[in-house]
Amino acid sequence: GQSLEQPSEVTAVEGAIVQMNCTYQTSGFYGLSWYQQHDGGAPTFLSYNALDGLEETGRFSSFLSRSDSYGYLLLQELQMKDSASYFCAGLRRDDKIIFGKGTRLHILP
Amino acid sequence: GAGVSQTPSNKVTEKGKYVELRCDPISGHTALYWYRQSLGQGPEFLIYFQGTGAADDSGLPNDRFFAVRPEGSVSTLKIQRTERGDSAVYLCASSATGATEAFFGQGTRLTVV
């Protein structure tokens, strides 16, 4: 089967750090991506992990552990504009992309 | 084009009618994906193309849904005998061969009344 599980909502404070988790059961798995989607907008790519470990891009970091079928997205120095939904997505070896249901991030001032 | 273009942006149709949704991917992108997204949910996979052929259509909910990509560029998602449950935002995305990043269009919001 193919599924990716994410908590439905997370709340954090402006300026703080937040971690959003993703666990998956995906056959033929190749890598894990993260996308951001603001209300009314299209999903936009944030990061991709093909190998175990941490990938850092500015305030955003993404982690993958294949042995644990687990990944997370870490956002630092939270800003109000980071309020959005965040989706993990599994990339299969045949290039099919499957999305989780997403975590809605609420940021408090 | 500069990005993935989807038309129309909004479509209201009566139950039982036929609709076509168009996706114009980024030039040169071989992979094209269709997803359906309901409010508060993640994109639900429908079908994806590599070039002109449907590599995987396992997400199409039933035989009322069909998609084509005859020349390996523009794709059309076709829905026959629309039902109120088909109401959703239909998203199209494209990516280059071997790429890990998919680029999404703004979607078509379909409302069946």
Task: Give the per-residue pLDDT at A93.
Answer: 79
Q: CB distance A101–B107 less than 8 Å?
A: no
Task: Give the per-residue pLDDT at A94.
Answer: 79
A81 pLDDT higher than 60:
yes
Shortest Cα distance, chain B CAs vs residue A2, angstroms: 11
Task: Give the per-residue pLDDT at B100.
Answer: 86
A28 pLDDT higher than 80:
no
| Residue A17 near residue A75, CB atoms below 8 Å | yes
Q: How far apart are CA A25 and CA A52, in angstroms?
A: 16
Determine contact: B67 vs chain A, CB below 8 A.
no
Write out residues 55-74 of A within 8 Å (CB-CB) of B.
Answer: none
- Find the mean pLDDT for residues A82-106: 92
- Find the mean pLDDT for residues B83-91: 97
- Find the mean pLDDT for residues A89-102: 88
Task: Give the per-residue pLDDT at B98.
Answer: 77
Amino acid (one-letter) located at B112: V
Which among B45, B93, B104 is the nearest to A98, CB-wise?
B45
| Residue A59 near residue A77, CB atoms below 8 Å | yes
- Find the mean pLDDT for residues B94-109: 92
Q: What confidence tier does A26 reach under pLDDT thresholds 50, 70, 90?
A: low
Q: How far apart are CA A101 and CA A6, in angstroms?
A: 7
Chain A residues within 8 A of B35 when measuring between CB atoms: 99
Task: Give the per-residue pLDDT at B10.
Answer: 97
Q: CB distance A43–B31 less than 8 Å?
A: no
**CA separation (Å) from A89 to A25, B67, B77?**
11, 23, 22
Shortest Cα distance, chain A CAs vs residue B87, angstroms: 15
B1 pLDDT higher than 60:
no
Q: What confidence tier does B97 reach under pLDDT thresholds 50, 70, 90?
A: confident
Size of interface A-B (CB pairs under 8 A): 52
Task: Give the per-residue pLDDT at A33.
Answer: 95
Chain B residues within 8 A of A41 when measuring between CB atoms: 106
Please write the tens of the pLDDT for every residue from A31-79.
999 999 999 999 999 999 999 999 998 999 999 999 899 999 999 999 9
Task: Give the per-residue pLDDT at A1.
Answer: 61
